[in-house]
Amino acid sequence: MTNYAQIALDTLFQRYDLLPKEKRYHGKWSYDIGVVLLGVKEAYHQTNEKKYLDYIKETMDFYIQSDGTIRGYSFDAMNIDYINNGKLLFLLYKETKENKYKLALDLLYQQLQEMPRTKEGSFWHKKIYPNQVWLDGLYMGAPFLAEYACTFDKPADLADVIQQFTHCYQQTVDPTTGLLYHAWDEAKIQPWANPETGCSAHFWGRSIGWFMMALVDTMALLPADVPKEALVEMFEKTLQALAKVRATENVWYQVLDKGDKKGNYLEASASSMICYAMAKAIQLGVISEKWQSFAAETYQGIIEEFVFITNEGWLNLIRNCEVAGLGGPDKRDGSFVYYISEPIITNDFKGYGAFLQASLLLQPLSKEG
């Protein structure tokens, strides 16, 4: 049986010597690097092979300076995307005991302490997006805050983590479908926001993928004595809603509930994220094993729809939405036409990283590699 997890890892190592120096990044502290490296971290945990730890360390050492400052990072931007790569620093600090990693962790934690919030306590997505909560931001910030709280004994922060999910879910869930809108504007003044609810107009696949990954990664970190019922309920309800809009190909559309609308397309990153979240929830015992076949069908659908092996034996993941957001200088309006008009690319790291993470759960590596 073909092990796509191993092929995806081997491809990554052969294609990219040092991720930050790739032309797509130009040294930026870019959150999607973290999505890929979390897959490499899982490979390290499965095999204990030093090459995986070294790959993470070399990448992070490009950014993390000896005094704990981070190249390409701006504290004042109050950008929750900047937190994601910090998830890798817990592993590096544990393995190396180098103080620069602890200093960088403290810096990112301090950002979360100073992040502007909505009245009920949800983090803004960025300082330039005032009063706005995006589903993406839960993935960027919540698992990091949970791991910091557990690692450095700050139990009060765990209640904050849970309320971040609770408030976001309450504000973005559609009572009819059970799906979550991409974002919510507390002030209800953004051009993309519904003036009555504050929600954006559509169910964007990857945004719910981010949310589902965030939930399951956070649940995996929480201590046994921290109640998880609220998170489990959110996960189950959202998964049931997603099951209703899965395409006949067993994957998901860019705009989840508009599969029959011209221009919509089956999208790799959302499908991979949802697949990963399901597989991890089953592994954790968060959801019933009756979902096992659903997850396996989804993974097979991803392989059939999105995975191509090149002549060199490298893995390509096609049909990833490159980026999607709301507002900003480009005045992104959150319309259906907007979501289907963003560039569709191959091997986008948000999709590739999610596929790698899903593959490692569904096709674990042997100790022999």
Report, as residue numbers or ranges, the catalytic residues. 136
Is there a contact between 193 and 213 (Cβ–Cβ < 8 Å)?
Answer: no
Strands 320-321 and 344-345: what pairing? antiparallel
Q: How many residues does the chain have?
A: 369
Identify the DSSP state of 181: -
Sequence-separated (6 or more) residues with CB below 8 Å from residue 307: 4, 315, 316, 317, 318, 355
Other beta carbons within 10 angstroms of residue 131's beta carbon come to 20
- Helix, strand and coil percent figures for the chain, each rounded to 5: 55, 10, 35
Write out 130-164 in H/E/C secondary structure: CCEEEHHHHHHHHHHHHHHHHHCCCCHHHHHHHHH
**What are the structure tokens assigned to 119, written together?**
């009245």
The burial class, CB within 10 Å (0-12 / 13-18 / 19+), for 129 is: buried
List Cα–Cα distances, 122 to 133, 151, 154, 201, 230, in angstroms: 7, 23, 19, 20, 16
Other beta carbons within 10 angstroms of residue 113's beta carbon come to 9
